[in-house]
């Protein structure tokens, strides 16, 4: 395997499961020194053992990214140990405790909790890593948005808004650093297998079918089989951090199986026409 991220320091948030875990593994396989942060220390430690056993470099730091002081401490520790951060992947996200609810029923606390994790934390970490990136004239920030940034999903106002905000956060970082070697890219993610996506899908189904509805094991297995692995998404994201991708900045890139291009709408149109 080509170690095209060799010795690059990559800070990845939300590594305890889902996409973050897959990104950490894929980046480490390509030679990056991965620093993963998450709230669940046991999951982070297990991932570290797995990556180390495969010959990769991984350091886990427990951090609640909603807490600005904790973010500042973690970044300061990385800068002291490594001298800089070459790649920041703002991946950690939440859909909230009540992910499916109409806007008028939403409480401010529900809105604030989603925006704090999904958008404000990405701002905080970007603000902290940008000065050393600018000093080196090199760096990549990947903000993991969602197809929800382009296609509003009913009853998910806070999540939709937070992911749309990540797109323009990326654009702003890109234009403020154009020509400097510091890049920012927004990713419209869709279809990745994760605990959060499973939870949201089940909550959506209960909204339609009743609170007592539960997904069968067969249905869950079929859904998992249709979803590409987190590692597959991680490999795609690693390509965007390679030196050969130096011209890619300010871009909004969809990793969604064609959803934002129209595959979901086409499926629904033809399904309706066949009935």
Look at residue 263 in the predicted model and tell me its pLDDT.
76
Look at residue 7 in the predicted model and tell me its pLDDT.
95
Look at residue 266 in the predicted model and tell me its pLDDT.
76
The domain segmentation of the chain, as residue ranges, is 9-193+230-273
The residues facing 12 across adjacent strands are: 36, 89
pTM listed for this prediction: 0.89
- Active site includes 159? yes
CATH superfamily placement of domain 9-193+230-273? NAD(P)-binding Rossmann-like Domain (3.40.50.720)
What is the mean pLDDT, run by run of 10 residues, along the chain of 275 residues?
93 96 98 97 96 97 97 98 97 88 94 97 98 98 96 93 98 97 96 58 55 62 67 97 98 91 72 61
The one catalytic residue among 4, 159, 233, 270? 159
């Amino acid at each position: 395997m080509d170690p095209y991220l060799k010795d690059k320091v990559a800070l990845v948030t939300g590594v305890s499961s889902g996409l973050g875990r897959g990104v950490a593994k894929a980046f480490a396989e390509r030679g990056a020194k991965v620093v993963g942060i998450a709230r669940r220390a046991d999951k982070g430690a297990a991932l570290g053992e797995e990556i180390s056993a495969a010959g990769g470099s991984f350091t886990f730091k427990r951090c609640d990214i909603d807490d600005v002081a904790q973010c500042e401490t973690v970044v300061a520790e990385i800068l002291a140990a490594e001298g800089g951060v070459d790649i920041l992947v703002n991946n950690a996200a939440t859909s909230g405790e009540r992910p499916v609810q109409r806007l008028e029923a939403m409480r401010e606390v529900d809105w604030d909790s989603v925006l704090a994790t999904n958008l404000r934390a990405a701002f905080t970490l970007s603000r902290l890593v940008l000065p050393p990136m600018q000093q080196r004239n090199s760096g990549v920030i990947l903000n993991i948005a969602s197809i929800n940034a382009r296609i509003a999903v009913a009853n998910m106002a806070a999540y939709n808004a937070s992911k749309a905000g990540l797109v323009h956060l990326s654009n702003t970082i890109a234009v403020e650093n154009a020509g400097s070697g510091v890049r920012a890219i927004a990713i419209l993610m869709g279809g990745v297998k994760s605990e959060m996506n499973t939870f949201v899908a089940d909550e959506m189904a209960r909204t339609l079918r009743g609170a007592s509805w539960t997904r069968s094991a067969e249905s869950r297995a079929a859904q998992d089989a249709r979803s590409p692995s987190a590692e597959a998404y991680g490999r795609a994201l690693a390509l965007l951090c390679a030196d050969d991708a130096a011209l890619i900045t300010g871009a909004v890139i969809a990793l969604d199986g064609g959803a934002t291009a129209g595959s979901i709408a086409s499926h629904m149109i033809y399904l309706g026409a066949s009935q």
